[in-house]
Each structure stands twice: as structure tokens, then as C-alpha cells.
Structure 1
Amino acid sequence: MVYRIHFTVQDLARTRVADGPMPLHELELAARAVQSSGQPARFGAWRDRTRAQLSAQARMALALMPAVGASPGFLSPAKAGALEDLLAQVRSTPAERIRQNLREIAPHRPSLPDWTRRLADDASLFAELCTGLGHLYACLLAPYWAQFGEHLAIDRTLRLQQLLTGGVEALLAQANPQWMRWDPPVLEIRMVGGGTRDLYLEGQGLLLVPSLFCDRAVVTRGRPAAVSYPAGQDPQRPLRLTDRAAAPCRASSPAVAALLGRTRAAVLTAIAEHQGCTTKELAARARLAPASASEHATALRAAGLTRSLRHRNSVHHSLTPLGSAILNGHHGV
């Protein structure tokens, strides 16, 4: 199948990259990945570890988010925000929207569980599904959320560089060339299965959503429509995730301080904890004067531990793989 997304001039002007993680949207992508058999080198160990931990309620939510195929939109809004707030929004979904979403996916999901027929009218059943959604997040994403933020910040830096050097055309052409092809004014998304579908953005633009668990390109209809893609990762490398995701961000490591000096280690740690921060933000978090923070950031960039990109009047700093390895290696990860 090819998804043909049609752009107008207004759509090109309003196309952008998501400015923050979207917990429930990423959860749907993780749910699809954990049920798939694709990319075993990358996802195999993570799948084996998480599948054994799923509760009965979590499996209810999983049943509505298949490896391939449509899922009801109310479960995974493409919105940034705190998980608790987003789950509260799901719990408050009107019964008519539940029915409508289930009707929309029914032609594409002939094997929906029988209990979905009662979902809109049985409050306790729907509450159990929402509880399962929280359980699923706790199992698939919560231990790794800090690492996801790091990957997202690095990907945003890359996309910003593409936008600055080649405009929206470079952004669309290079975001995910394996699955996306820019043929102006149409973005073609290669999908699993046969046939062709067309989506007209109608001036709303397109939201590009980098994802840690997406292994291809996934189109989400909405206003605006969204396309998720792998966040700048090598699909052949194993996904190295650990429930000690926050450990590398401690500034108190004596080994890192001995290697870099205490102040420079604190600056590197501040960048790791707040990927994409500006020099002003970095100075505040490291408790330094802006000029001093800029000097240390320049030294770290020269050493290849960080990268910096200027956007308008601000310089944004993020960790490089080498900088991450320095922090990770000195925390025994």
C-alpha cells in the first residue's frame, strides 16, 4: 500500500516536527512493535523482557493496538503532556466517540474481541481498559522514558539542521527515506499491504513525530495529520534500554569529574538531562555565568561530546553518542 499525502502551499508552511514526546502515541507504536516480529536484532531482547510482564488488563489494551492495522483513535491521541492528564482525557471519552472509532476500524479489523461491542455502554469495562492502558505504559515505556527524551532531542537537532540547510523539502525527503518519498507536491508513504490511499491535508500541514519504537512510517489521521518515523536510529543495532535510564544523568560521578573536571562534568550532565537546552538555560541549570557556560559548552563541542546548533538568537546544545558513552561508561551501564 502507498499512502499519498497531498500538500498545498499552506500545508508546506505549516509542516513541523513535534516539539515534545507524546506518551500515548508512542505507547501505541511500542504496542505495535512488541507484537511484531520485525527487526529482531533491534527489538528482540526488549520484546522478550516486556511480553512476560504484561497483566491481563494490559493485554486488553494491547488487543486494540495490533502490530499491523487500525486502532481506535481515542486510545492514543497524538498530544504532548503528562501521562496522568492524557489518561484522564481517555477516561473521559464520550460513549459516542468510542462507538464511532470502533465502527471506523471494524471493516479493517474483523477479529476485534467480542467485549469491544459492550465497551461504549459498560463503564466498568471501559475503566478496566483504561487501567490496562496505564499498565501497558508502565511495562513498555515508563522504565525507558528518559532515554526516549534523549533520542528525541538528538533527532530534533538533526531535523533542525536539515530544515536550516535544505528547507521543508530536505526535511520531508530525509526524515525516513526507506519508507517515505517526497515527489512534490505529494509525500508517498510505503505501507504494509497493497492498494493506494490518498490524504489531503487541506491547509492543516503535517506533523512529523520521531519515535523510538516505530520501525517504519505510520500515518495517523487527524487535524493535523501526523507521520511517525524512527528517530534517527540504526535499525540494525539492538535497542539498548535499561530501567536505570536516569543514572547517567547524575552530576556526582567522581570518575566523570576526574576525567573532565568538576565544572565541565556538571555542564555535560546538565546537557544530558536537558537535551536541546539553550546556553542561557544551561547556565542556570549548571549555576554558572552565561559566558562561563558558553566557554565550557564550546570545549565539550570541540571534544566531540556535545553538538550545538544556532536557531535565531539562541544556541541549542545536545549530547553526542560519544558524550553519552562517557556518561554511561562511568555509571556501569
Structure 2
Amino acid sequence: MKREPKAGVLALAMNLFLDLRNYQYSLSVVEGLRIHMEMGHSYIEIPKNSFNEMQKVVNASNEHVISIGARFSSEADSHLVCFQNEEGNYQTQANSKPGKTRTVTGASFVVFNGALKASSGFIAKSSIVEDGLMVQIPPETMESLRTALRDQTDFQIPCGRNDGGEVREIVTVRWVDLSSPVNTGITSGVDGRPLDGVRSVRVQQDTEFESDGRTISCTEVFYQLKAPDSNFSSVLSSCSVFQKEMALAACSALTPHLAVLASSGINSLTLRISTQADMVEYQAGCGGRLLPQRYMNELDSALIPVIHGGSASVPQTAMDMEFIFYITHTI
């Protein structure tokens, strides 16, 4: 993807997320966390049962930045969306539910940047960056925020100038009781099977697969565990290399066919890999229907070598892994 470099808050956001030494992009997602923005007030709501996940994010963050991915909030009547126009510029807009007045807007992530200097003239600043929220705070406020997150206590950040004037906005981090199921309304692209309550992880692919002006990438993997005593975190840890190799192999197999797939109306597809002791099966589909056999033949050639000779052993846990792939145009 070739375009001129962009300046401003977009560049600032990317600098916060990018690890230029290791060429990685990362944004940890805390299950159930949601961001609600209202007039004069923004709320970062963290489920109490996601305390351990939140601690991992805090402990893995660097001294000045804590960045957290959020889930889509069905309670918000609009949601921030970032898109790239034909000129290559990024734009942000709020998409509203039909017939709804926009009062609560959801966001996809929040970044706490603890490098705000006293000379800036602000006690804290909040702003929209792409489809997320950035909160700039002084170092001492960042330390207080870390303590609140570790102690599972609520925390308020008044935003405005430090001249004693009126507070323009308050950002509140609060712990809430949430019992709503994850991934509500999601169905499998293979056969339409409901995935309500099935936990998933977002994927940032570090290898680009491009052909005929289109790219394919794996963006999310659903884990449907079949044994009641299976631990989700342990499964993720043991499957990370296998997950990566299977996703890359599938992308490699389908890359030569991106133009044909897109012209057939297939812009997203699902690969389901079912595992248990001494058995691996897989299917691929789109919109609840299996892919034509010619694409399955291509997947056979790419996936079977990984299953039998990859650097990671096949998981022995009884589960279905559903890989979500998107085909997009390059600009």
C-alpha cells in the first residue's frame, strides 16, 4: 500500500502502538471493556470479571502509555468508524443506529498517554483519534491511574486548562458488573452456526499477502472449547504458533485467487479447524456456505504440510478454531 506519510494525531497514535524495533503492532483487548462517550463525559467501563486481563495490560505497558482495545457496545446508539478515502487520507465519523438520536457514542480503543507537560497549559486533554479515544495526562496522574487499575477502584480524570477555568470534560474509568455474553449475534461463515458466547482474539498479521490490487488477512480467531474444564488462557498460549502458521498458510493458498473471490462477492470468509486427540478436520465457507472445491484443493496443499510438519504441534484440546479472513482493496 503506497501513500504519502500523514502528520498530526494519526501519526501520534501510530507511534504509540508501533514497536519499531521489532516491527510489530499491538493493541491488547480486555474482554467486555466498552467505551461510551457523551457530551462532557467519557466512560471507560471495565468488567470486574476481567480484572486479571486488565492487570496483564497494565503490567505489559510501558512507562508513559497504556493502550486498551474495546469491544463493540450494543448499548451505544452510535459508534466511531475510521476509513481511508480515495486520496489516502484517514477520516473519522460516527455511524448512528437508524432512527436513533446520537447521545452515546462507542469507541474501539482508548490510549492513556502519560507524557503531558505542565507547560502545555492543560491538566489533561481528551481527543478522538481514528475510531478511538486518546487521553493525555501528566506523569503523576498516570501513576495514580495505574494504582487505581491495580486496586480495582474507579478513577476520574478532569480535562481542561490549568488556569482554574471550567472543566471541559471528565473521563471516568470505572469497574462494572457485566454478565452479557460475548460476540452476541455473530454466526459462522462456514455453516451459519451461532457463535454467541464464544470467546475470540483479534489478530494483527505481520505478513502481507497481495495480488491484483487486493490483500487478504486474518483478523480474528474464535475458540469454541468443547471440554468444560478447558482453560481459555492456557489454550491460547499453547496454540499461538499453530494459529499463526495456519492463518499464514491459508492466506498464501488463497492469494492467487483474490480477484476471482472478490468478483464473486466473497470479501470475507471463515476457516474452521476442528481438533481433538489424534484428529484434525477443517472446512472453509462464506455466508453459511462451503467454498467451492477448487479453493479447498488449494487449502489442502497449504494446510496439510503445516498439520503434519509445522514447527508447532497440533493442539490436543477438543475445540473448533474459526479463523476470520477479509479481502480488501489496496490503494
TM-score by length of 2: 0.28
Instruction: Identify the structure with the greater strand proportion.
Output: 2
Higher relative contact order (CA 8 A, sep 6+): 1
